[in-house]
Amino acid sequence: MAAEQENQKNSNRQPFAEAGKEEAQRRRGAELVILTVLSVCVPALVPGAVSFGWRDIWVLPFLFAGTGICWVLYIRRLMSERDRLWLYAVCGWGCIIFDGVHPTALYGIALMCCLLMVLFFQTDERGILHVSFLVYLFVLGCQIVMILRGESVISDPFLAGRLTVHTACVLLIWRVGLGIIRRRGEDRASANRIIEELHFTRRRTENFMANVAHELRTPVNVVTGLSSVMETRLSEEEDRKDAAHILEAGKRLSDQVDDILDFTEIETGRFTVAKEPYRIAEVVGDAINALDIDTREHLPEIIVDVDANIPPVLIGDARRIKSVLTHLADNAVKFTRRGGVYLNVYRVPKDYGINLCIEVKDTCIGMSRQVLERLREGVYQQDAERNRENTGFGLGLRIVYGIVHAMGGFVQISSAPGQGTEIRVSLPQEIAEGGRCMEVKDPSAVLAAFYQRQDKFANAAVLDYYLRMIGHVIRNNALTVHRVTTLKDCREMLAKQQVTHLFLSEEEYREDPAYFDACCDEMQVIVVAQKHFRPSPFSRVTLLRKPLYAFPLVDVLNAESEQEAKAALYTEAELRFDGLRVLVVDDEEMNLLVARKMFAEYGMEVKTASSGPESIERIRKEDFDLVFMDHMMPGMDGVEAQHRIRDFLQGTGRRTMIVALTANTVSGAREMMMEEGFDGFVAKPIERQELERTVSELTGR
């Protein structure tokens, strides 16, 4: 695949590019030192030339001009680096020759040549060292000629010995410099080999993890797919509960596989994020559904508050944001035995769009400063030895840190033993569609009432969480709302006011079920309750399943009838794609079995193929609306099969949408598939919400 090969090439070059960047910074620093020394040496020649009355003083302006040109070339990065270095060396040699051809410079030329060679040690230019040594020999020869002619002003009985020592020093510096350059080259070659070996090992690890994910997801897909089908078909309550437990186990295993993959990519520096339009309502809804609160015991109160002023469509990585939401909420729920969890999603306007902020507060046991530091450093699960009932590997917060930092955001955690924990996340996001993510259509037509007993909350913070969420809904939508805390006050208020919507929890409903059932004749009564709650027989109350959050609450307020309100809350159970012709391509027979049963529940006409060539033959003979194509298949993979199907369809006038149905969910997999020409992406194990959303978007149903 072209895109995959290009990604592989970029991945191969990355470690060398980083090493090259460090090397370039070192060489640029060496250039700066050389130019600084030249800028000092050239003016230092002026006093001697003037005091001794050298007739060739006219050379100095050229040396000053040459130094200035070198600075311009360095600052503006003109010419190649090697050419600039040779130009710097020419200026240095000019200074040595200008000073060395005069009788007074006999003992200074060795020092100047040694200084010049030392300056160029960091450049790895052996030729400059060779020429510098030859320049020294040339100037030394000029001095010896002047001595033999009697032109030298230096009279020293130890002259021969001094010149021998000077020459030996220059020779030593020359040889040391060559040795340093040679060793540096060997070290660089060795470092590059080590980097290449490490990168090869990392690439093998990533490929291994991708294959592990694919192999694990295949049986997990069977477990979750068939158990979800069984849950809807079984008639006995006990059997449905068993199927739900199997489904929960499969989802938990799938989530843990995702965590291991994400953690591996974060630790190896291969983690990437996408930038695609997404709806914030769908991300929040999917994150809440992923909590699977119906199968948990000792569940705290969960309150989800969403800012209505968040734009409905943002640009970012929806899957990663959902992961952040899920990990934060799941972690809070795990460690909160009593009390509640408050999840607040809001926005802070910025020039580039918004900062999508996620705030999670809980009433859990809290964490000490030492525990917080260990969480920031890496994998840690508080009280891991004793809290065996808390599932997972303790990777949640480490993954959150990795995702948030990859998106250019930040994480803040504050906690203290016995005082709960508060986590704030900020994620920069662009805006794809302006406006508000939720809004009551006609606030003037709504008169809502909330009946909520205060004495039922053992922890005052839970009541505060509920009041915050309800208060935000009221203020953001300019609603008129009455709030009562006792059954007596509720009766009196309903007798005086023309209430359109009455919200209460199952505890309040059980105080007088007959009364609240009778209220349904005058208003819409909405009971917020757990999944297992059942109202009185023939009751017309609308059930709003916990956790309570703003999107379904606003949907109820916007519904024009009781039936429409109930439909808005349970659309996922009634979604149909009757008559949609679908081809599922997968080399695993069990995956095909799951797809046939799951897709058939939506009224789709499902055909299957077990290989890429077989799918092409089916496309030639039959017309399909959608093709779900597995990625990793022997012989011809899904990408090649997709390209061949596209080539065939070009001249037929048929429009068939092709969706990648794959267990490969490593970073960049979705983007790679979309770049290859797929119309959509659905990960295995198949999640119903993701499947329904993808099919709806592609078919317009």
Interval 677-686: pLDDT, tens: 899 888 877 7
pLDDT at 535 over 70: yes
Q: Residue 343: what pLDDT? A: 92
Phi, psi (5° rounding) for residue 316?
Answer: 180, -160
Give me the count of residues in the chain. 701
Which position has the higher pLDDT, 543 or 7? 543
Residue 671 has pLDDT above 80, yes or no: no
Sequence-distant (≥ 6) Cβ neighbours of residue 339 within 8 angstroms: 300, 301, 362, 363, 364, 420, 458, 459, 461, 462
How far is 225 from 42, CA to CA, in rounded Å? 80
Which of the four pLDDT bands, split at 50, 70 and 90, describes residue 666? low
Average pLDDT, integer, range 334-361: 90
For residues 427 and 408, what is the distance between their CA atoms, to the nearest angstrom?
7
What was the pLDDT predicted at 617?
Answer: 92
Rounded Cα distance, 658 and 565, in Å: 35
Q: Whole-model pTM?
A: 0.62
Tell me what pLDDT residue 107 has: 74
| SS3 of residue 307 by DSSP | coil
- Token output for 472: 């935000």
55-91 pLDDT tens trace: 788 888 888 998 899 999 988 888 888 898 899 989 9
Crossing angle, helix 81-100 and helix 126-149, to 10 degrees?
Answer: 10
With b for 16 or more beta-carbon neighbours within 10 A and e for fewer, the 608-633 pattern comes to bbbbbebbbebbeeeebbbbbbbbbb
pLDDT of the residue at 665: 62
Residue 492 binned pLDDT confidence (cut-offs 50, 70, 90): very high
Share of the chain above pLDDT 70, in %: 87
Closest CA to 613 of 570, 576, 645, 568: 645
pLDDT in tens, 365-410: 777 777 666 665 544 444 443 343 444 445 677 888 888 988 999 9
Question: pLDDT-derived band of residue 154, with 50, 70 and 90 as boundaries?
Answer: low
Q: With 80 as the cut, is the pLDDT of residue 358 above it? A: yes
Q: What is the pLDDT of residues 214-268, one digit of tens each?
A: 677 767 777 777 787 777 777 677 777 777 778 777 777 777 777 777 777 777 7
Find all residues with CB under 8 Å of 50, minimum gap 6, and list them. 57
421: pLDDT strictly greater than 80: yes
| Among the listed residues 33, 42, 125, the one whose alpha carbon sits nearest the alpha carbon of residue 83 | 125
Q: DSSP letters of 404-472?
A: HHHTT-EEEEEE-TTS-EEEEEEEEEEEEE-S-S---S-GGG-EEEEE--STT-SSHHHHHHHHHHHHH
CA–CA separation, 342 and 422 (whole Å) = 9
How do residues 623-655 score in pLDDT, each as one tens digit? 999 999 988 888 898 899 999 999 998 878 888
> Omega of the bond prior to 443 within 30 degrees of 0, cis?
no
- Quick: pLDDT tens for 500-514: 999 999 899 999 999
Q: How far is Cα 524 from Cα 639, in angstroms, rounded to an integer?
A: 52
- Residue 9's pLDDT is 44
CA nearest 344: which of 470, 454, 159? 470
**By three-state DSSP, how is residue 303 classified?**
strand
Higher pLDDT, 171 or 198: 171
Query: Given this model, what pLDDT does residue 661 score?
Result: 85
Provide the 8-state DSSP code for 294: G
Q: What is the pLDDT of residues 567-604, one digit of tens each?
A: 555 444 457 888 899 999 998 888 888 888 888 888 89
**Angle of helix 81-100 relative to helix 2-51, nearest 10 degrees?**
10
Angle, helix 159-233 to helix 589-600, in steps of 10 degrees: 50
**Buried/exposed 37-72: b ≥16 CB within 10 Å, e otherwise:** bbbebbeebeeebeeeebeeeeebeebbebbeebee
Cα–Cα distance for residue pair 90/33, rounded to 1 Å: 16
Which top CATH class is 272-382+393-433?
alpha beta
What single string gives the DSSP state of each residue in 519-572? HTTTSEEEEEE-TT---STT--PEEEESSEEHHHHHHHHH-SSHHHHHHHHSHH
- Residues 6 or more apart whose CB falls under 8 angstroms from that of 287 comprise 322, 325, 326, 329
- Token digits of residue 244: 């739900």
Extract the tokens encoding 301: 């109160």
Mean pLDDT of 93-119: 83
> Does the pLDDT of residue 204 top 50, yes or no?
yes
460 — phi, psi (to 5°)? -65, -25
Q: Which tens digit of pLDDT belongs to each residue from 271-302?
A: 788 888 888 988 888 888 777 665 555 678 88
Six token digits for residue 62:
């050229």
CATH no. for 581-699: 3.40.50.2300
Confidence of residue 125 (pLDDT cuts 50, 70, 90): confident
The verdict on domain 443-569 having CATH code 3.40.50.2300 is yes
Rounded Cα distance between 126 and 562, Å, is 87
Res 565: pLDDT: 57
**Strand, coil or helix: what is 357?**
strand
pLDDT at 5 over 50: no
User: Does pLDDT of 335 surpass 50?
Assistant: yes
Backbone angles phi, psi at 525, to 5 degrees: -105, 125
The pLDDT, as a whole number, for residue 529 is 86
As a whole number of Å, the CA-based R_g of the chain is 37
Among 530, 535, 532, 498, residue whose Cα is nearest residue 514: 535
The pLDDT of 540-551, averaged and rounded, is: 83
What are the b/e assignments for 215-228, b being 16+ CB within 10 Å? ebbbebbbbbbbbb
Q: Could you tell me the CA-to-CA distances from 386 to 1, 205, 330 in Å, in that order? A: 49, 32, 19
